[in-house]
Every structure is written in structure tokens, then in C-alpha cells.
Chains A and B, each alone.
Chain A
């Protein structure tokens, strides 16, 4: 009798568990072994979207607030900006704006007609005005990027003007950035951003998705340029374990996925292709130049002691390279005569001696991604008598505090630096810049920036920005620049390649992806 009671109890529990298992829990995949990308004949780009693109990524989606994203893995799918950059990373091209004319005092834009947001709201000059106002009052880094716009004037639905409070040399670049995607005014008004309402080719299917695990997008039938879009559906699977990501690639669950350096070689051995793209220019930021790193010789000593090539080899698996300065050749601010501080311990010790061999000790916060080269950094500084204590954090803690006044030095970067030398100055050396938490003033840089803004001749302006790069180098205000690549592995039977953009992290030009026909 008692054994029957026990068995009855267990049976009841199992039935209850099964019933709960049956309730809800949306599906998050099809079975492995079926094609990761529906294969179609190669599209020449003119026949409209077709097929399903299955991708893997380590990035999770939390909400649709474009202002707080650290990358555009998801937001680049349903959203578009007024302008876009070419694959070279800095040539400006039309997008939602088809033409523009900029003077020191204004920027006039001609908007594309016939565009609607996914909720049916028309995209027009009034929507642009509402977006600019929202970004400017957000307090995010993008508010600073659009700070030169003092007024938005709507002329008619397809013409809008930005009146500027000062010259804005990087405004066009900022209008291509992920923080300036155009969002439906109705969604802005709710302030919730738990759904997307962009103008892009694909809409988010919340019912078919599992937030944070699998995100499903379908082609938006009212998209303004169907001939420019390759795939009809996109399924983004979150694959945070590199072995699972590799297995998903091998079994065809995904056609492409981002992988860490250690797993990329395994992917190549399995017949996959690897595509690496420069995405970030990292560097040492001397945040506290009022006390800990006030002495220029101490900064030069550190710049001479470090070895960014070793950081790239150890921390990035070779996916990257040391660079001499913040901006690449061809971009404003680049100075061909500036070379990186050579790794020279003897020179580093001479600089320390010139500084009086001060006893310096500080804490450097680290997280999983920069742990390896931060450890090398600490060892290198130990060789010249500087004690670095590493404080390991999770990503949440790290990104809360890394640019606060708690830590005198960082090894990092920011999208705020990318757009151009004025933004780099404002973020990094401006008295209220987010990358200047100790509010250290550099009068010489402030004067150079003011001169550059007042200069109307582009060539002369560029010479001033180059002088700024030289000054930063000569006084070791920042150093240790290195390029970090992102790498994707893809199945060459399904994709011809992955269209990425130079120095734009997590940015895939999804429109241009085409699925290959089945081989053999």
C-alpha cells in the first residue's frame, strides 16, 4: 500500500512536469543536419530577396534601444541611417538621404521618398527632426556626436536642414553610425524599445524568436529597394560556446558564425573559410594625467616598455596588428611622420630615471576579452618598476566603471573616437569628454581643435588635425595603438563571402549577402 503511494506520488510529479514542459517554450531551432542556409541559385542582386540566411553570433539581443548598443549585430538588420559608409570605412554614401550639402553653418539633406517605417509611419523630414531631438536629449555618446546641430528645419517632407552652432567636420560620419539609426517616432514616444520599428529590409518576428537565443527576421514587403536585398529571411542564433558554434557550422545549422581565434583554425581544418576584418583601434589611455601619470617621462617610459605586437599574438591569436596612431592612412588626422614608440626597455628605464624613478602602483580593471594582453601589460610595466594590480570583472561591471575616475589607466577604445579627429579630441581630451573622467585639460590640443574648426580650407584643416596627432604622440598622451580584427568563419558552399566594413565593429552589410546554389 505504501509503495503504491510512493509510486503514485512519483507518477503525479512526472505528469505535472510533462504538462509544464508542454506549456509554452517556443521552438528555437530546426533540427541539425538540414541546410543552414536555404540554397538558391546565385543572385545577381536584381531579382529580389530569396532564401534564409542562418547566422551564429556570441552577441545577445536585449532590447531595441539603438542608443545603448555596443555594436550593430542586430540593429543593422531592421534599421537604417541617413547616410552610410562604403566598405573602406570612411567614404560617405547615400542611404535614407540621397543628397547633401554641407557648409560651416548648415547641412542640407534631401531625403528618399516612398520610405515607411515597419509600423507604417512615413519616413519624412518630420521623422528626422523627431529622431535628432530624441538622440540629443538622450545623454548618450550619440548626443555628443550630434551636439553641433542647434536647430532642425523641416522644409518639406523630403528636405530638411540642420543649422549648426559651429563647424562640424565629423557630422556626416556620425550620421552613418549605429546610434543615429532612424526609429519610428511612434516607438520613440513609447520609450520602451521592446520592439523594433526601423525602415530596413527586415522586420523582427517576436513570436518566432526566443529573445536572447534565436532572433528571426522576415523581409519587409514595403521595403524601398527590394532589388538591393539578397536574402528573404535572417535567423540569428546565439552560440556562445565556440565548440557549439563550430559544430553548428559543420552541420549546416548556420552558414556563418563569429568565432574566437582558437577555434578559427579548427574551422579552417573543417573546410570553412575565415574572413577577418579590422574592427577596432585599441590603445592605452592615460586617464589620470593630473596625478598618477602627470609626468610626461613616466608616460613615455610606459609607451616604450609595452609591446603591442605581443599583445596581438597572445591576446588576439594574431588577428590584428600594432599600428602607429589612432587614424589609418587616408583618414583626417593621419600623420605619416608619426611612428609608434618602439618596444625598448632600456629607453623605458631611462625615461623612468629622468622622472626620478617614482614608485607607481595602480589598479587596472580587466574582463574576459582583454584579460590576456592586460596581463602582459602588467608584466611589462613590472620590468620598469611600476606595479599594476589586475582587477578581473564581468562585462557588466567592467563597462560600468572602466571610464570612471576610479581607475587611472585603461586599455580600450570607443566608437566616439572613430568618426574623426575632432570627436577623438572631444571624447578623449575635451574637459567634459566621457573618455576624460579626470577632466584633465590640454590647452595646446584645445587650441588646435579650435583652429581646425575655424579653418574652412579642408587641406589646411587636415594639416591641423595631423599636428594634433603629432602632439599626442610627442607628449605620450595616448600610445600603444593596435588594430583588433573580428573574424567570421563561413561555409564556402553556402556563401561567397561576408561583406564587412573596415573599422566598424559587428557591422555586416546584410543587404549584400547572397546565398550560393548547392554545389554538386
Chain B
């Protein structure tokens, strides 16, 4: 298991560096000139040269990437071209918001998806199974953006149970923090919950029909023990990779929720950086998001290794 973990960690680190290099290359292929955007098109050649030197844009791409990566390893992501704020500090301010939103959505997606899928799989063909299947279809079809607006209209505007927009820090007011996240987390989680529910139902049905479960049942094992020790664990092993993919999907779609509910997370920072071609922010934010996705998938791999010894290297 230790060897498995070490191997996965090493591969994750390589993946992070490759993601950073790929992002760097893509950003610098953009035709937009950040110096012109920052100084305006009336700037003199001297001013443009000075800013280019300050930003390191006059050096080769390889040199720029090396310098940036070296700084990033020490927590220095550079400075925003437009706000002059340290990129690291800005990311640190926004990361808790994104983690709150995506973390809450993940927990909801797991609770709803795993629960519904498990119940439907155990009661295959019953009315409960048909209801869950219908709910899953609706969840897959409803766009998150539209759902967010509906929820906001119903529960924030008409019935003022939740705030229409904005974020309260956990340390400032835990109750308002939670209250402000209910609607965006629910809207964000529904699609992923539907995907997880569908996979979980299928996995449970497959496990229940497998020969080893028949053999365990034939030995007189109680249904409760059968479900807990054999069905749940083996079904989870099948669904775990799907969960990892859904976390990446949630991170990508969180930017929509951030816009609708005015949450100052990394997603909205990314969008602003793309529009303004603020390269340092763009590079830092994409690296953080890529690292989060890689970390989650590392956890998924480790969890899968714990659940299913067959995936560990022999």
C-alpha cells in the first residue's frame, strides 16, 4: 500500500507540472497583449518596454515558465497586472469560497446520489426504483444555471428563506455562511447527484447478481450483513472513479454558481482574468484548480486501492 501511495503521489506531482506547462503555453499563445490592456493604446514605446521588462515578458517562454514555476514552488505566483495585488494572496482569499461551494456540493451529491442509487438498486423494479430513475433523468436534464435561477426566485425572492447573493465567511458567522451556501450548493450538486445515483444503482444491481453474493446468501448470511459487507463495499469500488470525475465537473461548473449567487471564488477570478488577459492571475488560478482536481483524483485512487486490493500494484 505504501508503494502504491508513493507511486500515485509521484504521478500526481508530474501531472501538476505538466498542467502548469500546458496552461502557460496556451495563455501565451493568446493574441491579446496584456501590456496594451494595462497601459492603454496611447502608451509610449518606452513605457511599454518598461512594463514588459517588469513582467518578464521580454524573456523567452522557457525562461518565463522556469522563473514562474520556481516562484510558485515558494508560494510566489507573481503580481496581478491590473490590481497589483499578490496573486497568491488573492487566491488564498478566494479558495475558501470555492472549497465551501464545491465541498458542499460534493457532500450533497454523495448523500443524495449514493443514497438514492443504493436504495433503488436494492429495490430493483419496485415503485421506489422507478421514482428514483425518473428523478435521476430529471436531474440529468435540468441545466444547473436554470435551476439556480429558479431556486433563487422561489426561496430567496418569493419566500425569503435564503440570501439572493453574497458570501459570509465561516469565521464571521457560521449560520449565515451555511445559509448562503444552501441554494448554490444544491443547484450545483443536482447533476452530479443524478450521475452518481445512476452509476450506484447499476453497481448495486450488478453486485447483487454476482455469483459470490449468491454464494454468501446461500451460506445463510443475513441480508443486513450481506448488504453492508459485500454489496455496499463492492458497489462503492465501482462508483468511486465516477465520483472523482464529478468533482472535476463541479469545479468547472462552480463558476456559473459564483456568477449567479455573486460568490467571490476562484471561478469568477478566472473568468475576469481571461477577459482582461491578466496572465499571472490566470496561471495561478488554473494551477490551483488543476492541483485540486489532481488531488481529488489521488484521493479517489487511494480510496479505490483501499476498497479493492486488485487495483494496487503487486
Contact = CB atoms under 8 A, between A and B. Distances in A.
Interface in B31-47: 31-33, 36-44, 47
B124 interface: no
B115 interface: no
Interface size class of A (residues with CB under 8 A): 35 or more
A471 B262 CA distance: 50
B156 interface: yes
Interface in A248-301: 248, 250-251, 253
Nearest to A4: B306
Interface string B132-156: 0000000000000000010011001
Residue in B94, B163, B236 whose Cβ sees the most chain A Cβ within 10 Å: B163
A60 interface: yes
Contact of A397 (B31, B83, B153, B163): B31
Contact of B85 (A21, A31, A194, A243): A194
A253 B162 CA distance: 12
A117 to B, nearest CB: 19
B164 interface: yes
A192 B307 CA distance: 54
B33 A400 contact: yes
A141 B103 contact: no
A67 B43 CA distance: 11
B63 interface: no
B180 to A, nearest CB: 7
B167 interface: yes
Interface stretch (A97-105, A233-241, A324-332, A453-461): A233-241
Contact of A29 (B31, B37, B42, B166): B166
Nearest to B168: A27
A237 B165 contact: yes
Nearest to B1: A5
Interface string B276-314: 110000000000000000000001001100110000000
Contacts of A139: 39-40, 42-44, 47
Interface in B233-282: 233, 236, 259-264, 268-269, 272, 274-277
Nearest to A27: B168
B100 interface: yes
B223 interface: no
Contacts of B171: 22-23
B217 interface: no
A9 B43 contact: no
A359 B31 CA distance: 29
A400 B43 contact: no
A473 B41 CA distance: 28
A23 B96 contact: yes
Nearest to A25: B96
B49 to A, nearest CB: 12
A244 B165 contact: yes
B65 interface: no
Contacts of A27: 166-169, 172-173, 176
A239 B37 contact: no
B301 to A, nearest CB: 11
B92 A397 contact: no
A26 B268 contact: no
B131 interface: no
B164 A248 contact: yes
A434 B41 CA distance: 8
Interface stretch (A209-217, A350-358, A493-501): A209-217
A474 interface: no
Interface stretch (A12-20, A123-131, A157-165, A338-346): A12-20
A69 B120 CA distance: 57
Given A25-B100, A253-B165, A397-B31, A6 B170 contact: no
A387 interface: no
A140 interface: yes
B152 A244 contact: yes
Contact of B83 (A2, A26, A29, A194): A194
Contacts of A248: 164-165
A400 B37 contact: yes
B40 A251 contact: no
A63 B83 contact: yes
A192 B51 CA distance: 12
Interface string B42-58: 11100100000000000
B84 A31 contact: no
A138 B31 CA distance: 25
Contact of B103 (A2, A14, A140, A192): A14
Given A26-B93, A244-B262, A144 B42 contact: yes
A250 B157 contact: yes
A31 B96 contact: no
Contacts of A17: 99, 103
B31 A212 contact: no
Nearest to B161: A33
Contact of A211 (B37, B83, B96, B149): B83
A396 interface: yes
21 contacts: A6-B306, A10-B303, A21-B103, A23-B171, A25-B93, A25-B95, A27-B172, A31-B163, A32-B163, A68-B40, A139-B39, A139-B43, A139-B44, A139-B47, A140-B42, A214-B264, A244-B164, A244-B262, A247-B153, A396-B37, A399-B37
Given A28-B262, A63-B83, A247-B152, 12 more contacts: A6-B306, A21-B170, A22-B170, A24-B96, A25-B169, A30-B163, A62-B80, A194-B85, A253-B164, A396-B32, A400-B33, A403-B41
Interface of B: 31-33, 36-44, 47, 80, 82-85, 90, 92-97, 99-100, 103, 107, 149, 152-153, 156-157, 160, 162-173, 176, 179-180, 233, 236, 259-264, 268-269, 272, 274-277, 299, 302-303, 306-307
Interface of A: 2-3, 5-6, 9-10, 13-14, 17-18, 20-33, 60, 62-63, 67-68, 138-141, 143-144, 192-194, 210-214, 237-241, 243-244, 247-248, 250-251, 253, 394-397, 399-400, 403-404, 434
Instruction: Please name the 3 residue pairs, one residue from A and one from B, whose CB atoms are nearest each other, closest first.
Output: A29-B166, A25-B96, A32-B163
